[in-house]
Structure 1
Amino acid sequence: MNSLYPETDWSSLCRAVRESSRIVLTTHRNPDGDGIGSQIALFHGLRLLGKPVQMHNRDGVPRIYRFLAGSEQIGQGQWPEASAAGDLVICLDSGSQQRLGLSASFFDGARVANIDHHLSNTRFGDYVVVDPRYCATGAMVFDFLLAMKIPVNAEIAQALYTSLLTDTCGFRLASVDASVHRLAADLVECGASPWDISMHVYESRRLASMRLLGLCLESLELHDGGRSAWLAVTADMYRETGADVEDTEGLIDYARSIDGVEVAVLIRADESEHGSWKISFRGKSHADVGKLASSLGGGGHPHAAGCRMQGDLEKVRDHLRQAVRRLLANEGS
């Protein structure tokens, strides 16, 4: 197996891992397949190295990723005071330390490592490896394991394939090239099961999620001459269908798939905070939604990004429409 980017410098982080006595792995709040897959893969890898390691996130593991071996060992919530702190905290797939959603005590007395592929990453931490060339943080973990000379077993391969599959929208984004497909093939040879992963990720929806999909699609609007598509999920929709935030996974792809649409927007109510909205963007063609999200205090990639906003839904939507209109005008000029 070959590294995707052999020139990436992992030396400082390799040394930090070897010198550490207790490692904690964490990823961003409301974790996705890349965050969870990267975390679990690195967990298994470091255990093969004989390192004491644990996993802890602010939020729980989404249902569709609980099939991954080791997911049951991920702690949830704020850092438990009685738990032994790590001397090295490795943050995965998080563009900023704030996005982890954890209190400062989580990092007390620890060195912090930051492994991420988002261009908008704030470069926090003592050991920073941020490289937007990678299609997923899981691909970075693969290269890191090679640098550490840790073998990729079936459990690691299953988790990393999940990272690749989900963060490339099923290998459909512009970040997917021949090297990504070669990596996917390597992972299958190491024991990953594309069928099993795809069944859990894409073919295990709850009935409540299908009902939410119906209501969400009723909100569909096209603007900017059909170049932007808009969807919304409100708190009332959650209550009516019995769905939750996990059931919004993939909804934005319906808007993005419409012929002629260059920017898709999903405005989603935050279940835990009234008046707070999670905004997801997807881009096609030359529309750089990463720049759009950054201008709104968020971040991401050129074709997949997001941010958070506060306030009345209509005011939030109007503000976003102006921002999207400017983006499309600039792209067309």
Structure 2
Amino acid sequence: MNKSTFFILPAAAMLLAACGTQTSSVSSKASSTSEGPSSKEASSSSSVDPYTFKTISPAGAPTLAYYDQGGNADFVTDTTPTNVAGQFKTNTYDAIVFDSINALKQIKANSYPFKLSNFITGGNFYVVSYGKDAAAVPTASDTFASFSENGLPDLVFKKLLASYSGYNTWAMPTVTYLPGVSDVLTALVSHTYDYYFIAQPALFAAKAKLGADASKVNVVANVRNDWKSYSGQTSIPQAALFLRTTSVEAHTNVAAAYTYNLNQRIKNSITDPAKVKASIETYSADATVQAAKFGYSAAVAYNVQKDGANGFGMVDPDSIEDNHDFVNTFIEKLGNAAYTAFDDSLFY
């Protein structure tokens, strides 16, 4: 079964989504060919279900899909991704945002009652240099900092290094792996290395801290764009929304409204970053408070997304017809023995 079919919202759920009365409902795919629980599972009842989905997400880029949920007590963020991953084995949350492939592996291995519903981010990784000519590429004598050795972003980059013609002139030096992207940010500000594998919005934050020296930072590679050139896929399967199956079964209209609203927010985050900025500022005018909730400030969100840049790598809900095919095609293109195809039963 799958997945070019999309949510056709029941009338009550559509009314909720349009009126915005269910602030905890987040959405992903109802208005597009993206996915979500099938409309055939929806209740025919016209009554309004007061249930709200409780959601947890790692702080950072994925929270942009929840830009108007800062004040919602049922939307929780955590700066430690392993804390979020641990929630799959609890009964606390109806919706969990996490790295798509690793979450699918967890769910498959442990029979957790979750399915992948929607993609949120699709690659926000860059290779940049500091103090090099704009056209320079890595050589064996350079220094290079990255993070999360053999994590999915690292494996994508390694695959491109091995197989993508656009990197043919590179002669990669030994890579120094730092604990996390925030450490790469710090190293870039200190210009400790020649080249850096880094993600947005950390890249923007580093350039802001560098001030006038930000002009010495050059983008050498946009990894998402290069993956598209190599694989033909529009994005990299990064953060995704997972819904608890029992919650969807018990509250189908709520799930429909949630995913519908999420999709709309993702679209807005791409096309209307000023709206995103205003919503985050409505939550708090204090940039420190904003960053504590979302992982970045309203100003950073606006500047990274403006002018169609989509630096956060948000996935347009219309760009993926079938999440199951998208993931398995990615795994095939990646060609890494640690990742094997997933069954359709793990996807809405």
TM-score range, shorter chain: under 0.3
Higher relative contact order (CA 8 A, sep 6+): 2
User: TM-score, normalising length from structure 1?
Assistant: 0.27
User: TM-score, normalising length from structure 2?
Assistant: 0.26
